[in-house]
Structure 1
Amino acid sequence: MTQAQTFESVPIDRVRRFWNDRPCNLRHSPEPVGTRAYFEQVARRKYHVEPHIPRFAQFDRWKGKRVLEVGCGIGTDTISFASAGAHVTAVDLSEASLNLTRQRAEIFGVRDRVRTVHANAEELDQVIDVEPYDLIYSFGVIHHTPHPDTALRALHRFAGPDTQLKLMVYYRYAWKVMAIVLTEGYGRFWKLNELVARSSEAQSGCPVTYTYTRRTAAEWLERCGFEPTAMAVDHVFPYRIADYKEYRYVRSWHFRWMPNLLFRGLERTMGWHLCIDGRAGATS
């Protein structure tokens, strides 16, 4: 992150309240919340809109392995890992999210492979036993904590020599950042951090959202004891919001006639998701 980005003074309780009020992806289905039909539709919708997630997570690869998922939300990826045979420790700051993850694990018959932990990622090493996991996975989470360095250093304690890290944070040079600043900020680039934080999620007013470039992300990992091994930018949301809220997939006019090859090029250069693979390095 740049020196101008700082949310260190934001209380963690404010972050907790935000995600408790509306857990991520909660409205991805019109079915009754907590039913099998609801969870199935949430997963279909999420992976339809973000098809790079299964490619990045490689769920089947972790069969029989121990996965530490930091920021599980309502458990979509958690159940994908567990259904593929992984043993998952699923952590979240939001009690409401964890309750749904537990329900989901019961419904899909993987409760014996899912352990849920209510914890602040910045203090995770004070809450669960410190031991190495095969995979440390966190998708779209650590950029929402006030002290991401503290969180990543805590995660480093769960990394052994063969542990792999898979982490997604938001990309600073994304199409979405440009759109937020131009349409909602009326071009006020000097307020970029404030504008992006407020509009980074489906529900407005997110209290903390850091963004990273490839360089600042690499520096962040190295500062916290990890070595980045690969980085990829992905995901531009192409749909009209009004239709999407009604569960229709209608592309915005500026994407409607864009050839798929060109659209994929845009995603790989100005995508919202910076997907990082890494491993434990020397502790800094």
Structure 2
Amino acid sequence: MSNNISQAFTDVDIEEVQSYWDSRPCNIRHSPKEIGTKEYFDEVEARKYFVEPHIPAFAEFEKWKGKKVLEIGCGIGTDTINFARAGAQVTAVDLSEKSLEIAQKRARLFGYDIKFYQANAEELSRWLPLEEYDLIYSFGVIHHTPHPEQAISEIRKYMGLNSVFKMMVYHRYSWKVLWILLVYGKGQFWKLDELIARYSEAQTGCPVTYTYTKESVKELLKHFKIIKVQVEHIFPYRISDYINYNYVKAWYFRWMPKRMFRWMEKNWGWHLCVTAKLKK
């Protein structure tokens, strides 16, 4: 996929995607505590923002106090809760029934009135009543649907000229893609799309994972005015320690100066974060 949007996963059934995320909702193992308890959710949130500290700055939770926020792909609800905690009127959508079940339990536990819908983002208007939102937020979701352009087309229906769209998709020119290619693919670049999908998530075998360059994401958002594009996030920890809740950096990151690591993240990070509005 040079600067063109890949079509590698257009034949994947959405039911396969739903089944994958139902089997292991994103971040569900961020805490060893009993799922659904306050201690569990607190640990999930702490770990998520420790490993991905750029998220609060990108989401700007406090900015949306009193505003209408629609989250596409809420997962188990970490960002969802933080929008509500900041005073936003939140509506959250997810394809995964299991993820929604946990997110709803989380909202009840912390006492937030959040509207939840189970829906396929590619057919959002079939399930979610049409109304305009101040912010539509989707972090790490749209690249996992077989037809991302259809999801974007649906999202536009919920935006006005003053609405803001914030989206994170995976970055093609990233350290993680290089790592996947070398470690798992043994340099088989012709299999790169398949390799990225298989190894993009903590649970292997994700059915769909598109990646984008700064150029190709603009093509995906061709009906939008791009306000800001930023690259973030390299995961520096040894997986063998991380899964046991120990944060030990890989040897090649351990000696690296912080300024050099941040430079790498800003150029070869895994998260391509885009802020946009509709074109007038």
User: Following the alignment from structure 2 to structure 1, what is the Cα–Cα distance between the partners of residues 16 and 127?
Assistant: 20
Report the equivalent of 2:79: 77
How far residue 4 of structure 1 moved from its aligned partner, in angstroms, is: 4.8
SS in 2 for 1:45: helix
User: Following the alignment from structure 2 to structure 1, what is the Cα–Cα distance between the partners of residues 210 and 225?
Assistant: 20
Report the equivalent of 1:271: 269
User: Following the alignment from structure 1 to structure 2, what is the Cα–Cα distance between the partners of residues 147 and 5?
Assistant: 8
How far residue 228 of structure 1 moved from its aligned partner, in angstroms, is: 1.4
Report the equivalent of 1:22: 24
Q: Deviations over 1:144-202 (max 9, x none)?
A: 00000000000000000110000000000000000000000000111110000000000
SS in 1 for 2:192: helix
SS in 2 for 1:206: coil
Q: What does 1:54-203 correspond to in 2, within 5 Å? A: 54-110=56-112, 112=113, 114-203=114-203
Report the TM-score, using the length of structure 1 for normalisation: 0.96
Task: Name the amino acid aligned to 1:108.
Answer: F
User: Following the alignment from structure 1 to structure 2, what is the Cα–Cα distance between the partners of residues 5 and 247?
Assistant: 37
Percent identical: 56
Structure 1 alignment gaps of length 5 or more: none
**Kept in 2: contact 1:156–1:226 (CA 8 A):** no
2:258 to 260, 264, 272: 260
**Kept in 1: contact 2:5–2:220 (CA 8 A):** no
User: Following the alignment from structure 2 to structure 1, what is the Cα–Cα distance between the partners of residues 152 and 6?
Assistant: 20
How far residue 129 of structure 1 moved from its aligned partner, in angstroms, is: 1.4
Task: Name the amino acid aligned to 1:39.
Answer: F
Structure 2 alignment gaps of length 5 or more: none
User: Following the alignment from structure 1 to structure 2, what is the Cα–Cα distance between the partners of residues 236 and 115?
Assistant: 33
How far residue 68 of structure 1 moved from its aligned partner, in angstroms, is: 0.5
User: Following the alignment from structure 1 to structure 2, what is the Cα–Cα distance between the partners of residues 67 and 3?
Assistant: 28
Report the equivalent of 1:46: 48
User: Following the alignment from structure 1 to structure 2, what is the Cα–Cα distance between the partners of residues 97 and 4?
Assistant: 27
User: Following the alignment from structure 1 to structure 2, what is the Cα–Cα distance between the partners of residues 117 and 87?
Assistant: 14
How far residue 76 of structure 1 moved from its aligned partner, in angstroms, is: 0.2
Task: Name the amino acid aligned to 1:10.
Answer: V
SS in 2 for 1:133: coil
Report the TM-score, using the length of structure 2 for normalisation: 0.98
Q: Deviations over 1:47-98 (max 9, x none)?
A: 0000000000000100010001000000000000000101111000000000
Task: Name the amino acid aligned to 1:190.
Answer: W
Report the equivalent of 1:237: 235
SS in 2 for 1:34: coil
User: Following the alignment from structure 1 to structure 2, what is the Cα–Cα distance between the partners of residues 81 and 148?
Assistant: 24
How far residue 128 of structure 1 moved from its aligned partner, in angstroms, is: 1.3
SS in 1 for 2:275: strand
User: Following the alignment from structure 1 to structure 2, what is the Cα–Cα distance between the partners of residues 187 and 175?
Assistant: 14
How far residue 5 of structure 1 moved from its aligned partner, in angstroms, is: 4.0
SS in 1 for 2:212: coil
User: Following the alignment from structure 1 to structure 2, what is the Cα–Cα distance between the partners of residues 107 and 29?
Assistant: 17
2-11 vs 114-123, which deviates more? 2-11
Change in CA separation of 1:66 and 1:249 when aligned onto 2, cut-off 3 Å: same
User: Following the alignment from structure 1 to structure 2, what is the Cα–Cα distance between the partners of residues 4 and 86?
Assistant: 35
Report the equivalent of 1:227: 225
CA RMSD of aligned residues (A): 0.9
User: Following the alignment from structure 2 to structure 1, what is the Cα–Cα distance between the partners of residues 127 and 279?
Assistant: 23
Change in CA separation of 1:105 and 1:3 when aligned onto 2, cut-off 3 Å: closer
User: Following the alignment from structure 2 to structure 1, what is the Cα–Cα distance between the partners of residues 108 and 129?
Assistant: 24
**Kept in 1: contact 2:68–2:90 (CA 8 A):** yes
User: Following the alignment from structure 2 to structure 1, what is the Cα–Cα distance between the partners of residues 266 and 72?
Assistant: 25
